[in-house]
Amino acid sequence: MVRFSFLPSGDVQGVREAWAAGADVRSLNAEDDSPALHTAASHGHLDAVEELLSRCGAPASQQRPSDGKTALHVAAEEGHVQVRPIAS
């Protein structure tokens, strides 16, 4: 597991730096046991979601191991409607 501590705050620069340093964005975030995309989506950080999908190649269809939910499911559950069109 990787520690993506910058994701809950939506730090896009942190996403870019981690990706540039070789972090695997498909890895689980040690802080919440979710893929990076799920963490960004659950907090409603549209810019970070877009960065993870477009530049870093995070798979939109990746499921969270604990419950099988995609980032789209997580965003919808948390009421982050602005994320739904991007994460689908």
The domains of the chain are located at: 7-87
Kindly report, residue by residue over 31-82, the tens digit of the pLDDT: 788 888 888 999 999 899 888 888 878 888 888 888 999 988 888 899 988 7
Helix axis angle, 12-20 to 46-54, nearest 10°: 20
Higher pLDDT: 84 or 53? It is 53
- pLDDT of 20 above 70: yes
Strand, helix or coil for residue 39: helix
69: which 2 tokens? 């939910």
Highest mean pLDDT range out of 1-10, 25-34, 38-47? 38-47
pTM of the predicted protein model: 0.82
Residue 38 Cα distances to 5, 20, angstroms: 13, 20
The CATH number, out of the four listed (3.40.50.2300, 1.25.40.20, 1.20.120.430, 3.20.20.100), of the domain defined by the range 7-87 = 1.25.40.20
What's the pLDDT at 67? 92
- How many other C-beta atoms lie within 10 A of the C-beta of residue 46? 18
